[in-house]
Each structure stands twice: as structure tokens, then as C-alpha cells.
């Protein structure tokens, strides 16, 4: 029940406004809904994320916590304004040149927090910046480039305010491969104009709210909706499974579509959708879940791998009587024999919990019926996989794929969590039912409780080596809790056995995995598909072996590191790029110094112990042994406009920029600027570039973009009758071919199109997991330096050194951004993040790193060029994260003597282990 | 229709509140809005009418009198950080700097922290170490039954020492339709505060310690008030230890586990009970160590 509206006069970005508002609504509501200033973002609506930070009379506040009633006569500055003394504009330019905005959802909040700081302290110190930005969470950048940008404005290194898209003045020559080009979509992000899932919808869109199960396992009966409908003006429809026209199920693989869009009488996890309300926003705000006629019968829930695999455990799905969704396997050589003949063996059991993606943008979007012709549905949503979404929605609606169009909005972070559909089928079913546009915005808790997580794991492994530390055998059994539904469980089960040894030469390997159903939140894709979990096991065992054999931990890794010409456990010979030895060599000076420093420190400090750890990783780019093609199109119009039509969704990592850089390099026409199509990933106007996952877009779509640009170039040469080696350059309104021919754009054919497709060469795996599952692998090594308070069990990461073989850094700024952000997520995985259904469903109980948690990071980019990659490039998105957690665990062990086999290493857990060791 | 009131005087506020005791007082809103979001997440859409007291501006800020410091309940954390205060308030300032981020510090109030009465409220532990007196007020209407001093014909104004004001987790002695109108602090000494969490910013305490120490010219403790928060439904004075410290030089070795027996920490997602107990002891030792250093520096 809302109080009557009150009239407010307020000044926003220097302009006076008179508005009417519900007094208990918030400043964020007034800005976004009444004034249309959607640059202010909502990530949690609870003060926890700071995305909504604006200035109220000059002081930074969370717009989601300020009552509208308090706004009369106040002055507000938002990201849309220049800021006091133009400070916000100055920051914008610095954010652009530093690559401080990745997905951009936190950027408005960061800009405003920084504006408040710089207005008060014009040249702040780094700790002052960290403190002032401490209330804004960023999940993409690891904060480093953001703080750099603010520091630069403070130090007046960036003076020029940016007030228009600076790319307008950018010459194509500065946009080639290897350049630190500014993001092609950067201006939208730093100006607050980027439209994310919650930022736009048609005027006549109805709102949708999903009713979700509060129980982990239950039966339910739906009662009569008529009384509620009759009692609630503005409530247009209640949507349930009965309204799903096609298949009421979705899932990643054709044989694992086991999750209902709306549950039917039976729910398998807390947060599962059972029904939805559709109507005016005001009407929905009045209806409590308890008003909806649902009768629940809670049932005992299977929580955890052990319960689900116990003898006699009830089956979640009838097709899997043992609750094992799928198994993975890799076998090579004679493991038992090799263990027996080894000089040293090490083994252990390792546990990880659910980890939440915690993208700052909760899922949101809208669906419009019949927008592209009768019977069509157009879904606008924040997604990583528009083409998969399209196929899924078509199946759910029971219509041909051509009837469904997915238009991705800007994506405020994904990390794998937006690879599964969430709002898409719900919106489509509702819009079809009511015949009108329908929109939805998930709350933070809804996002966290209903969408996928990183798989919890229990991994038992054993590694053996000879007397000088050469690995002989590796054996692993890994169980992965896939939650109530399959999602990407099969991918995790298949990818882990291939990677589980770590990036080492191991002749005898036997790896088994299982993905197991439980009554918990579905686990899906999250940056690394199970490899971050298995890396914790193998890297700890490497430290164990080093200790047993009296070897240096760097040394044992260097000795075993996979390099060019070596054979992987799946029997694949690494013909080309495999730069792990180079990564390790790059880190050696830092390793030696850090060890000396730690020893010196520990000699004099009994309480705060320093430790150094090291870990390596590898990661196959692209799908495992599955075709995953990408297609790109590039056009040249008679107006001289070159457009790259990209279907590869940019989730903040910067693939749009990378593709333009690659295409610019391939097209090689100085003076000609390549634009990106307006809606990247629109299934109506782009070709299928595949999903943005598996660190594949730079490698796979990059190749497609290169081929498309080369195709365009050769068509131009043909049209001009010029030889293949003729140069092309732009000259005003014409193209010059060599020194002889000049053709005006207006005289070109109406539209010249170049096409490129690429599918990485892989082979199928046999029953023993042998084959060439990936065309290329990314490699990395990282060192963590930590300081542990031995009395309180708290760990502070004081430095990370990261060496990554990326093949070729198409854009070093973006590569560094991926590495920083991955390290922040790895740090969270190691030290603080643990999703527990029903208990850590918001961003104050589920902790992710803040500005003050990030250490300095020294990045070493290693370029072992891969001839298969575009200009030699490989992926870096997932590799960034994998080595961090094991390196931190190694450092904790070095500092304390305690081997941690369970993450996160919360202070109380480490304290307990230290106490056990001391007793 | 649920109401939203914005009175400009205390009188008006109390009268409105007396007429509708179901109203929810709102100061900075930094507890109220997150609470609303938490309820709405699982389909509880109700919210109470609001009595917004933020326009009663005289209830904000510090006032020094010959005997006391008065702190208005609407004083924000940022006001506390910026105020020019004696070392007695160093603990309060340290707590203020550690609450939320700058956004929360700019809006959240000490009165809201007090009345929300969370077991992990940093402000409450500090106020307890300061032995604050809490002044409340409600309208002396016809239904008033409370047996309390009547300071004006219109107002009933019970006051409480902080320790008795907090009744338990999220429970205070605030009477129906009563508002906290003032907080008073007196005494000498130097304030301390330490909090422990799993990350750098925006963190709810796993355990926290607030303390006030005063010492004589020889460095012997005259006053020691030590409070541990987040380890029981309400913050606890560690009186046994205070007694032992009194009359001696500040020495962390005097703090022993048995002094903490009144704590009843819980196991939850943030930490285990055993750990909270041990951490409380360690934080207290750290605070005593810090105070001992200050004592030496002050003397030098
Ligand atoms: C992101 C975030 C981080 C936080 N971090 C911390 C932290 O680190 N430590 C911590 O202790 N707290 C923390 N909090 C909680 C909160 O910010 C503080 O408790 C704050 O001081 C509350 O003040 P307020 O004015 O905003 O309260 P409000 O939300 O306005 O009110 C809180 C409660 O007090 C009542 N109330 C307020 N004033 C009065 C009065 N004068 N008389 C009677 N009743 C009154 C209200 O009715 C309500 O029940 C955090 C909150 C957020 C959102
Ligand atoms: S939306 Fe306001 S703090 Fe997250
Ligand atoms: S750029 Fe900060 S959350 Fe994505």
C-alpha cells in the first residue's frame, strides 16, 4: 500500500525538476523511473553493492536507501552530469584510457564515489581512494585499473574532460592488433548511457514477478486463482506450467533438458519457479507470495554429495536412479604400477563449496510478442548465449526458431552465470499468454537463489614422482554437486579429467569424475568449468611432493611444465603455443625475492607470518571435442561505413574491441574505421558466433572476424582489378588501390560483404579420454604473497605476480583487465566466498572482495604465438582465475605450516587448523 | 494507504507517533530499506507507515556541556568522523570509519544503530564502553501508563543506561511510540575499537571490541570498560577482566579466557562459536596493547 504521492522540487545535474513521488519510494526510483536517468544502477537494492551511488548535496549515498520524501530542495549529481567542477567528466576519460570499465555496471557508482572523493580531496593517496571506493563492488576489474584512473585524475595526469565519444577522432591505425585501444563500447559505459537488462522496456510493458519455492524439496498444489485476480485490480494474469505452449523444460544439452520453466507439483530446490504474477507494477507490489493459492508439503531434502550418493537415497530424477547425472574419465598408462615404483607419493581430499557469480547486474529483460511478425517473440535480455537462448525459447513456446529473436542488452557481468536461460523463457511464456510486452527485473536474492553456481566439489587425488621430481602418475576421483538440475554439469564432468593433472607432463593418469544431483541450487558454468576446483587439488599435491623430495616448489613445476612438443594426458601433442616454461621463468626473480623477504620477515615477527605460494594452470580454449563454430560478417557501404556485424556478446571482457582490432589489422586499410553493429548478438541481424564462454571468443570469433575482413579486402581488390599484394588506403571519399586506382565509395557496389567462419580443429575423445579435445590451451603461473595473523587466522594477500601465455595480446589493457579480475575472483574463492542456499543469498552475507582486499598485481604477458589463433592469440578469460586460489593456499601453508584442503579459508577455519597444528 | 510523516519538531513527531504506534521511525534508512528488500525477496511485500524524523535537525550533532557530551540520535557516522572530540571518543570514531562504506557513513545514524539493536551493531558496543545514557521520549497522552519522569506536561521521558536499554537481539526497552532523543556520555579516558571481519570494507563484525581506559600518572589503570560485541545476543561488558586490570599497569597478559565466560557466541556462516570466543580474547589483548603504547607515549 503506497502513501499518496508528494510533490518534490529537486536539482539533478544542475537542472531543476518538479516531480511527484511515493514518499517511501527511493531516490533510485525517482531517478530511474520518474526522470528516466537509468545511468544509476541497481545491483542489490540494499546498500551492499554501491552501484546506485550518487551525490546528495555533494556526499556519496546509495540511491536505493534514500527515501524520496527527503529529496525536496536537495541537489543530486548522477553519472549523467558533468559533476561538480566537471570532475565526473575528467574521470570518464581516465576510466576509458585505463580500461577501468569492463561490463560497466559498477562504473556509474565508481565514477560518483570517485567524484565525491576528488571534490573533497583533489589529489588523494591510494589508500584514500581505496577507502572512498570501498562501498562500491566491482566483479570484473579487480579494482586496480579503477584506482589507477582515479589516481591519474588526482595527479592531473588526465586533465582533458571527455564530453563526446573520443573514438570519433581515433584513426584506424591506432586500432590494430597489439594496441592498447580504448573499448569500442567504452563511451556508453562511462557516460551512463549503456542500457542493461533493467534499463529499458516498451511503455506498455506489464511487470512480471516470479513466485519461487521457499523449500529445498516439496510438493505443491495450485489452488483457484480467481479470487486473487478478482481482488487485485491491475493483476492481469497468473502464469504457471499450464501456460507453457511447448516443452516445459530447458537445459544445455539435448538429453539433459531436465529443468522446468515452471515446476509442476514438485520442486527440487529453494528458489525454483512455480508461478508468476503479471500486471501493473503497483498491483504486483501489493500481492504477497502468501496471497497466492499454493499449498506446500515440504519433503526431506538431499543436501550435499554424500547424502545424494548414500545407499537408498531417493532419486531426484527418475532417469538417474543413483543421482549421478554423468561421469567423465581419462585413462593413460599404468597408474598403479607407476605409483608403486615412485620415490614419493602424495594424496589428499579437497573440498570446495558453491560459489556465486555475483555479477553486479541481476538478470533482467523484456519480451515483446509479434514485434517481428505475427506469432513471433522478441526477447531482450542480459545474456551470454543469444543463439542458445533462441533455440531454448522456441522449444518452450513450441514454435520454429525463426519465430524467436533474442536481442541482448548490455550484459552487466556474466562469468558463466548468464549462459543458462533465466528470464528468457519466463518472459516469452508470459508475453505469449497476455499478448502484450512483459518485463522483469530479478531482485538480488532472486538472482542468487535461483540461478546457477560454481559446482561444489569433493576431490580425492594422488600424485607420484621420481626422486628428482618428475611426475610419474596422477589419479583423481572428483565428485561435483550439480544441484537439482543438469545445467552445465556434463561439461564440468568432461573437462576436469583432461585438466586435472595440471599443466604437467604425466605419463600415467587415471581420472574419474561424477556430476551428482542434490536438492540444492543448480550448479552450472562459472569461469573454469570445474578446473579451478581440480587445480586446488593438483597444485597442493605438487607442494606435497616438493616437500617430500626436498625440492623447491618453483623447481618441481618448472621440471614438469608442459611445453612445445610435449604430450598431454589425453595424448595430444602440443605442436605450437605452450608457454608455461616461459611463464615460470618470468616469475623466477619474483619467486626468489619473495622467499627471501618472507624468511627475513618471519625471523622477527611471531604473530604475522609471511608466506609465498606458486601455482600453474592450463585451460583448453573452446568446447571440449565439440564443434563450436563462429561466423562473422563485415560490410562496406557506399557511404564508406565499414560495419562488423558481431554475434559475439561482450560481457565486459572486451571481445567487441578485440574483434574490431583484429578486423582492422586484417582489412589493412589505413584511414578506414570499422564500426560495430549497434546490437551485438542480435539473432535477427547477426550470424551465430556461439556462446561467450570457454575463453573461446578471441580465439574462435577472432579467427572468424579476421577471415571476414580478409574476404572483404579480397573482394575490394578484385573489384579494383588490383593484385593480391596491392595496398589499399582511404583518401577522403574514396579508396586508393596501390598508386594507380582511386575508386569513390559511391562507385562501389551497393553493399560489399565479407564473410568468415571458423571452427577450431579438435578430435573426439575415446572411451579413455584420449584425443585432441582443444585446438589450443592457455597457460599461466602465479605467485601469491600473503601475511597471516597466526592468532586470528586472517589472511591478507599482499602481492600477486601473474605470468600468462596468451599467444598474442591483441589488446594488452584488456588482457591485464581479465587477469586482474580473475585474480580477484580467485582470491574470493580462496578466502571468503561460500554460497549456502537460504543463508548467504544477498551481498552482505555473501562476501566478494572489495577495493581493500585486492593486492598489487604484477602482470607478465607471455606471447607464445599460436599459428592457429588470430594473429597468434588464445583465450585468457578463464585462465586468469584458475591459478590464484591454489597459489594463495600454498602461500598460507608456507606462512603457517598448515595445509588447507577446504575453501574458502575463512578466518575461523584457518585458526582451527593452526590450533590443531600447535597442539 | 500506509502513511509517511515528516515532522519538523519533536513535539509533532511524538504526537503523530502516539496516534499511530504502528509507525516505523526512519532516520537514515540504512537498516530499514535493506530490511524491506529482504522481506520482499521472499514475497513479504508489507511495509509499515513511516515516521521520518530526519527533519528534526536539533537531534543531530554533538553538544558539550560542563559535565557531559550530548549526542543527537540523528548524528551520522560521517558527522562523528568529522567532529572535533576528545580522545574518549576515539573508539567511536574508529567504529564510524569501519561502518559500511562512505555511502552508509553519510546516511546511517547512531540512533538508528542503537535502536535497530543488532548483536553486531558496532555503535552499541562503543556506547556501552562509554556508559552512555539513553534518553527517550513519548507523548503524554491520555493512555500513558508508563511510570516515568515527566519532564513537561506533554512528554514522558524515561532514560536508561545503555546496558539496560538493550534487551536482546533486536530488542530494546523503547516504549510504544517512543523515540530516542538524546545520548549522553561523560567521563575521562581514551576510547578504543577493533573489529574483525572476512574482508576489508563493507563487513559485518564477526567479533568486535570497544573499550575505554583511563590511567593515573604512574600508568596504573583507573578506569577500564571493555565490551565485546557480536559474540552474544547483546554486547557484553567483560567486568571480571576490568576488575583485574584496575590499579595495575596495562598488560595484555592479564586477559584470560575465563574472563569471557559470559559470552554466548553462535556458530553461523561467518564464524564458529569457539573462534569468536578466542577472537574476542585476542582483540581485547590487542586493544590493551594499543592502550599501553598510548599510555607510554602520552607519558613520554
Ligand atoms: C551496506 C551496509 C553496511 C553496514 N555496515 C554496518 C557496520 O559495519 N556496522 C554496523 O553496526 N551497522 C552497519 N550497517 C547497519 C546500519 O547502517 C547502521 O546500523 C546505521 O547506523 C543505522 O542507522 P539509520 O539511521 O540508517 O537507521 P534506520 O534504518 O533509519 O533505523 C534503524 C532502526 O532504528 C529505529 N530508529 C532510528 N532512529 C530512531 C530514534 N531516534 N528513536 C527510535 N527509533 C529509531 C528505526 O525505527 C529502525 O528500527 C550497515 C548497513 C548497510 C546497508
Ligand atoms: S543497489 Fe543500492 S547499494 Fe546496491
Ligand atoms: S566493470 Fe565493475 S562490475 Fe563489471
Please check whether residue A500 lies inside any domain of the structure.
Answer: no
The CA-based angle A38-A43-A49, given to 5 degrees, is 120
- Express each pLDDT in A280-328 by its tens digit: 999 999 999 999 999 999 999 999 999 999 999 999 999 999 999 999 9
DSSP states along A742-804: EEEGGGS-SEEEEEEEE--------TTS-S---S-EEEEEEEEEEEEETTT--EEEEEEEEEE
Distance CA A332, CA A508 (A): 5
Query: Which residues in chain A (16-45) have CB-CB distances under 8 A to chain B?
Result: 23-24, 26, 44-45
Interface test mutation site (partner A, options B38, B44, B79, B101, max chain A beta carbons within 10 A): B101
Q: Is the CB of A851 under 6 A from ligand 3?
A: no
Distance CA A800, CA B296 (A): 38
Cis peptide before A904 (omega within 30 of 0): yes
Distance CA B139, CA B146 (A): 11
Distance CA A95, CA A286 (A): 42
From ligand 2's centre to the CA of B61, what distance in Å? 27
Sheet holding A741-744, edge to edge: A728-731, A734-737, A741-744
Q: Which of A170, A191, A220 is the last residue of a domain?
A: A170
Q: Does residue A31 register a pLDDT over 70? A: yes
Please check whether residue A379 lies inside any domain of the structure.
Answer: no
Distance CA A725, CA A125 (A): 54
Closest CA to A314 of A105, A487, A517: A517
Task: Name every residue whose Cβ is closer than 8 Å to that of residue B99 and which is 6 or more positions away in sequence.
Answer: B77, B105, B108, B113, B122, B123
Of B2 and A799, more confident: A799
- Alpha helices (H) in chain B, listed in sequence order: 10-19, 32-41, 77-82, 90-97, 102-107, 110-116, 122-129, 162-165, 239-245, 273-299
Distance CA A589, CA A586 (A): 7
**Beta-sheet strands, E only, within A593-641:** 608-620, 630-637
The grid coordinates listed for A861 are 604477458
Confidence bin at A162 (pLDDT 50/70/90):
low
Q: Does residue B300 register a pLDDT over 60? A: no
Residue A281 belongs to what H/E stretch? Answer: helix A281-286
Alpha-carbon distance values, A867 to A568, A775, A919, B249 (Å): 19, 11, 56, 73
Q: Which CATH number characterizes residue A738's domain?
A: 3.30.365.10
- The HSE-up count of residue A792 (CA atoms within 13 Å, CB side) is 23
Q: Considering only CA atoms, give the Rg of chain A.
A: 27
What secondary structure letter does DSSP report for B63? Answer: E
Residue A768's Cβ-count burial label (10 Å; 0-12, 13-18, 19+) is middle
Confidence bin at A2 (pLDDT 50/70/90):
low
- Express each pLDDT in A100-137 by its tens digit: 999 999 999 999 999 999 999 999 999 999 999 999 99
Domain range for A725: 630-758
Reduced to 3 states (helix: H, G, I; strand: E, B; else coil), residue B45 is coil
The grid coordinates listed for A548 are 617430500
Q: How many CB atoms lie within 10 A of CB A506?
A: 27
Closest CA to A676 of A184, A291, A285, A206: A184
Pocket residue to mutate for ligand 3, from A104, A112, A851, most atoms within 8 A of Cβ = A104
Q: Is the CB of A141 under 6 A from ligand 3?
A: yes
Query: Which residues in chain A (772-811) have CB-CB distances under 8 A to chain B?
Result: 791-794
- Express each pLDDT in A244-268 by its tens digit: 999 999 999 999 999 999 999 999 9
**Residue B199: what pLDDT?**
93
Mean of all residue pLDDT scores within chain A:
96
Query: Which residues in chain B (156-215) have CB-CB distances under 8 A to chain A?
Result: 196, 198-204, 206
Mean pLDDT is lowest, of A70-79, A238-247, A540-549, B264-273, for B264-273
> Cβ A65–B2 below 8 Å, yes or no?
no
Q: Find the mean pLDDT for residues B184-193.
A: 96
Phi, psi for residue A367 in degrees, rounded to 5: -125, 140
Alpha-carbon distance values, A276 to A13, A234, A240, A423, B53 (Å): 38, 14, 7, 11, 38
Of B148 and A160, more confident: A160
Chain A residue numbers touching B202 (CB-CB < 8 A): 48, 134-135, 137, 844, 850
- Ligand 3: residue whose CA is nearest its atom 2: A138
Residue indicated by cell numbers 552465470: A417
Q: Which of A743, A758, A773 is the last residue of a domain?
A: A758
Please check whether residue A183 lies inside any domain of the structure.
Answer: no
With b for 16 or more beta-carbon neighbours within 10 A and e for fewer, the A41-73 pattern comes to bbbbbbbbbbbbbbbbeebbbbbbbbbbbbbee
With b for 16 or more beta-carbon neighbours within 10 A and e for fewer, the A208-217 pattern comes to bbbbbbbbbb
From ligand 3's centre to the CA of A105, what distance in Å? 5
The grid coordinates listed for A172 are 584506424
Confidence bin at B216 (pLDDT 50/70/90):
very high
Interface test mutation site (partner B, options A6, A7, A8, A24, max chain B beta carbons within 10 A): A24
**Residue A166: what pLDDT?**
46
Distance CA A568, CA A575 (A): 11
Please check whether residue A395 lies inside any domain of the structure.
Answer: no
Q: How many CB atoms lie within 10 A of CB B173?
A: 14
Distance CA A689, CA A260 (A): 27
Cα torsion through A319, A322, A328, A329, rounded to 10: -130
Task: Name every residue whose Cβ is closer than 8 Å to that of residue B281 and which is 6 or more positions away in sequence.
Answer: B255, B256, B257, B260
All structural domains of chain B: 4-34+61-299 (3.30.390.50)
Mean pLDDT is lowest, of A185-199, A484-498, B147-161, for B147-161
**Residue B155: what pLDDT?**
75
Q: How many CB atoms lie within 10 A of CB B146?
A: 15
Report the complex ipTM: 0.96
The grid coordinates listed for A796 are 591478507
Q: Which of A758, A775, A804 is the last residue of a domain?
A: A758
Q: Is the pTM of this model over 0.95?
A: yes
**Residue A172: what pLDDT?**
52
Please say whether the dihedral angle defined by the alpha carbons of residues A64, A67, A73 and A74, taken in this order, is positive or negative. negative
**Residue A156: what pLDDT?**
83
Cα torsion through A800, A805, A811, A816, rounded to 10: -10
Q: Name the residue of chain A whose CA is nearest to B104's CA.
A: A61
Distance CA A616, CA B295 (A): 49
Domain count, chain A: 2
Q: Is the CB of A243 under 6 A from ligand 2?
A: no
The grid coordinates listed for B67 are 559535565
Closest CA to A26 of B52, B12, B10, B112: B52
Share of chain A above pLDDT 90, in %: 95
A24, A832, A840 member nearest B199 (Cβ): A832
Residue A339 belongs to what H/E stretch? Answer: helix A335-340
**Residue A4: what pLDDT?**
82
Q: Find the mean pLDDT for residues A409-432.
A: 97
Distance CA A529, CA A818 (A): 17
Distance CA A526, CA A626 (A): 19
Please check whether residue A830 lies inside any domain of the structure.
Answer: no
Distance CA A62, CA A47 (A): 6
- Ligand 2: residue whose CA is nearest its atom 3: A47
Q: Does residue A169 register a pLDDT over 80? A: no
**Residue B142: what pLDDT?**
47
Mean of all residue pLDDT scores within chain B:
93
**Residue B143: what pLDDT?**
47
Q: Find the mean pLDDT for residues A891-919.
A: 97
Share of chain A above pLDDT 70, in %: 98
| Distance linking the first and last C-alpha atoms of chain B | 65
> Cβ A853–B46 below 8 Å, yes or no?
no
Contact yes or no for B88/B185 (Cβ under 8 A): yes
Confidence bin at A751 (pLDDT 50/70/90):
confident
Q: Name the residue of chain A whose CA is nearest to B201's CA.
A: A134
Confidence bin at B145 (pLDDT 50/70/90):
very low
| Helical axes A884-896 vs A531-549, angle rounded to 10° | 40
Amino acid at each position: 500500500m503506497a502513501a499518496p504521492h508528494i510533490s518534490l522540487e529537486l536539482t539533478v545535474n544542475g537542472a531543476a525538476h518538479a516531480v511527484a513521488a511515493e514518499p517511501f519510494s527511493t531516490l533510485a526510483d525517482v531517478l530511474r523511473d520518474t526522470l528516466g536517468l537509468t545511468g544509476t544502477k541497481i545491483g542489490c537494492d540494499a546498500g551492499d553493492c554501491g552501484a546506485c551511488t550518487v551525490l546528495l548535496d555533494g556526499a556519496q549515498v546509495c540511491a536505493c536507501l534514500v527515501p524520496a520524501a527527503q529529496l525536496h530542495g536537495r541537489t543530486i549529481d548522477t553519472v549523467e552530469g558533468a559533476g561538480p567542477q566537471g570532475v565526473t567528466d575528467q574521470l570518464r576519460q581516465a576510466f576509458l584510457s585505463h580500461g577501468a570499465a569492463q561490463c560497466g555496471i559498477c562504473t556509474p557508482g565508481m565514477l560518483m564515489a570517485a567524484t565525491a572523493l576528488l571534490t573533497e580531496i583533489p589529489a588523494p593517496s591510494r589508500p584514500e581512494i581505496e577507502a572512498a571506493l570501498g562501498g562500491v563492488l566491482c566483479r570484473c576489474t579487480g579494482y586496480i585499473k579503477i584506482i589507477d584512473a582515479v589516481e591519474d585524475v588526482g595527479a592531473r595526469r588526465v586533465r582533458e574532460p571527455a564530453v563526446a565519444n573520443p573514438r570519433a577522432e581515433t584513426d584506424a591505425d591506432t586500432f590494430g592488433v597489439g594496441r592498447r585501444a580504448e573499448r569500442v563500447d567504452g563511451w556508453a559505459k562511462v557516460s551512463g548511457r549503456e542500457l542493461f537488462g533493467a534499463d529499458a522496456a516498451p511503455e506498455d510493458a506489464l511487470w512480471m514477478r516470479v513466485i519461487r519455492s521457499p523449500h529445498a524439496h516439496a510438493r505443491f498444489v495450485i489452488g483457484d486463482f480467481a479470487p486473487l485476480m478478482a481482488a487485485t485490480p491491475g493483476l492481469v494474469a497468473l502464469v504457471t506450467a499450464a501456460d507453457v505452449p511447448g516443452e516445459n523444460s530447458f537445459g544445455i544439452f539435448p538429453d539433459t533438458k531436465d529443468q522446468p520453466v515452471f515446476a509442476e507439483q514438485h520442486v527440487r530446490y529453494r528458489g525454483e519457479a512455480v508461478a508468476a504474477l503479471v500486471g501493473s507494477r503497483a498491483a504486483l507490489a501489493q500481492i504477497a507470495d502468501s496471497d497466492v493459492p499454493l499449498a506446500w508439503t515440504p519433503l526431506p531434502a538431499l543436501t550435499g554429495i554424500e547424502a545424494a550418493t548414500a545407499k537408498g537415497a531417493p532419486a531426484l530424477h527418475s532417469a538417474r536412479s543413483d543421482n549421478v547425472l554423468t561421469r567423465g574419465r581419462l585413462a593413460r598408462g599404468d597408474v598403479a604400477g607407476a605409483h608403486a615404483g615412485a620415490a614419493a607419493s602424495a594424496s589428499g581430499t579437497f573440498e570446495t563449496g558453491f560459489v556465486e557469480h555475483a555479477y553486479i547486474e541481476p538478470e533482467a529483460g523484456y519480451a515483446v510478442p509479434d514485434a517481428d511478425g505475427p506469432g513471433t517473440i522478441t526477447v531482450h535480455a542480459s545474456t551470454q548465449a543469444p543463439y542458445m537462448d533462441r533455440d531454448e525459447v522456441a522449444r518452450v513456446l513450441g514454435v520454429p526458431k525463426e519465430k524467436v529473436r533474442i536481442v541482448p542488452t548490455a550484459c552487466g557481468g556474466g562469468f558463466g552465470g548468464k549462459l543458462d536461460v533465466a528470464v528468457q523463457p519466463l518472459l516469452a511464456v508470459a508475453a505469449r499468454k497476455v499478448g502484450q510486452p512483459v518485463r522483469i527485473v530479478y531482485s538480488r536474492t532472486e538472482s542468487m537463489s535461483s540461478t546457477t553456481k560454481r559446482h561444489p566439489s569433493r576431490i580425492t587425488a594422488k600424485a607420484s614422482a621420481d626422486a628428482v621430481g618428475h611426475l610419474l602418475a596422477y589419479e583423481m576421483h572428483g565428485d561435483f554437486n550439480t544441484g537439482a538440475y543438469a545445467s552445465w554439469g556434463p561439461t564440468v564432468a568432461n573437462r576436469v579429467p583432461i585438466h586435472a593433472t595440471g599443466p604437467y607432463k604425466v605419463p600415467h593418469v587415471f581420472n574419474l569424475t561424477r556430476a551428482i544431483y542434490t536438492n540444492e541450487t543448480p550448479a552450472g558454468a562459472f569461469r573454469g568449468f570445474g578446473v579451478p576446483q581440480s587445480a586446488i587439488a593438483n597444485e597442493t599435491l605438487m607442494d606435497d611432493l616438493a616437500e617430500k623430495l626436498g625440492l623447491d616448489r618453483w623447481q618441481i613445476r618448472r621440471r614438469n611444465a608442459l611445453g612445445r612438443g610435449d604430450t598431454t594426458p589425453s595424448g595430444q601433442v602440443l605442436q605450437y603455443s605452450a608457454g608455461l616454461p616461459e611463464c615460470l621463468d618470468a616469475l623466477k626473480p619474483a619467486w626468489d625475492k619473495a622467499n627471501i623477504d618472507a624468511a627475513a620477515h618471519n625471523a622477527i615477527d611471531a604473530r604475522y607470518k609471511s608466506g609465498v605460494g606458486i601455482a600453474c594452470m592450463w585451460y583448453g580454449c573452446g568446447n571440449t571435442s565439440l564443434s563450436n563454430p563462429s561466423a562473422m560478417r563485415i560490410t562496406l557501404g557506399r557511404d564508406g561505413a565499414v560495419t562488423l556485424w558481431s554475434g559475439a556478446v561482450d560481457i565486459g571482457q572486451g571481445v567487441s574491441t578485440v574483434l574490431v582490432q583484429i578486423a582492422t589489422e586484417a582489412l589493412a586499410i589505413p584511414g578506414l574505421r570499422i564500426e560495430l553493429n549497434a546490437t551485438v548478438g542480435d539473432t535477427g541481424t547477426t550470424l551465430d558466433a556461439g556462446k561467450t564462454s570457454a575463453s573461446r571468443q578471441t580465439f574462435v570469433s577472432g579467427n572468424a572476424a579476421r577471415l571476414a575482413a580478409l574476404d572483404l579486402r579480397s573482394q575490394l581488390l578484385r573489384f579494383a582489378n588490383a593484385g593480391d599484394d596491392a595496398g589499399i588506403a582511404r583518401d577522403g571519399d574514396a579508396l586508393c588501390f596501390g598508386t594507380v586506382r582511386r575508386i569513390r565509395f559511391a562507385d562501389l557496389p551497393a553493399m560489399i560483404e565479407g564473410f568468415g567462419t571458423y571452427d577450431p580443429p579438435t578430435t573426439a575423445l575415446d572411451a579413455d579420454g584420449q584425443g585432441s579435445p582443444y585446438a589450443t590451451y592457455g597457460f599461466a603461473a602465479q605467485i601469491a604473497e600473503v601475511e597471516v595473523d597466526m592468532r586470528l587466522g586472517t589472511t591478507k594477500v599482499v602481492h600477486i605476480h601473474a605470468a600468462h601465455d596468451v599467444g598474442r595480446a591483441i589488446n594488452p589493457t584488456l588482457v591485464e583487465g581479465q587477469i586482474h579480475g580473475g585474480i580477484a575472483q580467485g582470491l574470493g574463492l580462496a578466502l571468503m566466498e561460500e554460497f549456502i542456499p537460504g543463508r548467504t543469498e544477498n551481498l552482505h552475507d555473501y562476501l566478494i572482495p572489495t577495493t581493500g582486499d585486492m593486492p598489487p598485481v604484477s602482470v607478465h604477458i607471455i606471447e607464445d604465438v599460436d599459428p592457429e589463433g588470430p594473429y597468434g592469440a588464445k583465450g585468457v578469460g578463464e585462465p586468469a582465475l584458475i591459478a590464484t586460489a591454489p597459489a594463495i593456499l600454498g602461500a598460507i601453508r608456507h606462512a603457517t605450516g598448515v595445509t588447507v584442503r577446504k575453501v574458502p579459508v575463512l578466518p575461523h577455519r584457518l585458526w582451527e587448523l593452526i590450533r590443531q597444528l600447535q597442539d | 494507504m500506509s502513511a509517511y510523516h515528516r515532522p519538523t519538531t519533536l513535539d509533532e513527531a511524538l504526537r503523530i507517533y502516539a496516534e499511530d504506534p504502528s509507525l516505523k521511525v526512519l532516520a537514515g534508512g540504512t537498516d530499514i530499506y535493506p530490511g524491506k528488500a529482504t522481506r520482499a525477496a521472499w514475497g513479504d511485500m508489507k511495509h509499515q507507515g513511516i515516521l521520518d524524523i530526519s527533519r528534526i535537525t536539533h537531534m543531530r550533532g554533538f553538544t558539550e556541556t560542563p559535565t557531559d557530551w550530548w549526542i543527537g540520535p540523528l548524528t551520522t557516522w560521517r558527522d562523528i568522523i568529522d567532529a572535533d572530540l576528545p580522545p574518549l571518543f576515539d573508539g567511536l570514531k574508529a567504529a564510524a570509519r569501519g561502518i559500511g562504506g562512505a555511502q552508509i557513513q553519510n546516511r546511517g545514524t547512531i540512533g538508528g544503530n542503537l535502536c535497530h539493536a543488532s548483536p553486531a551493531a558496532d555503535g552499541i558496543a562503543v556506547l556501552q564502553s562509554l556508559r552512555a545514557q539513553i534518553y527517550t521520549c513519548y507523548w503524554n497522552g491520555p493512555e500513558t501508563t508508563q511510570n516515568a519522569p515527566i519532564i513537561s506536561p506533554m512528554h514522558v521521558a524515561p532514560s536508561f543506561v545503555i546496558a539496560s536499554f538493550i534487551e536482546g537481539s533486536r530488542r530494546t526497552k523503547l516504549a510504544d511510540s517512543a523515540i530516542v532523543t538524546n545520548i549522553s556520555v561523560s567521563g575521562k579516558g581514551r576510547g578504543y575499537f577493533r573489529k574483525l571481519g572476512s574482508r576489508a570494507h563493507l563487513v559485518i563484525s564477526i567479533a568486535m571490541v570497544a573499550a575505554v581506559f583511563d590511567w593515573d600518572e604512574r600508568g596504573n589503570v583507573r578506569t577500564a570498560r571493555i565490551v565485546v560485541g557480536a559474540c552474544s545476543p547483546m554486547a557484553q561488558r567483560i567486568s571480571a577482566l576490568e576488575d583485574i586490570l584496575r590499579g595495575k599497569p596495562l598488560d595484555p597478559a592479564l586477559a584470560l579466557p575465563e574472563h569471557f565466560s559470559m559470552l554466548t557466541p553462535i556458530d553461523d556462516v561467518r564464524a564458529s562459536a569457539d573462534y569468536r570466543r578466542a577472537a574476542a580474547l585476542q582483540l581485547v589483548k590487542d586493544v590493551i596493547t594499543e592502550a599501553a603504547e598510548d599510555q607510554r607515549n602520552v607519558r613520554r
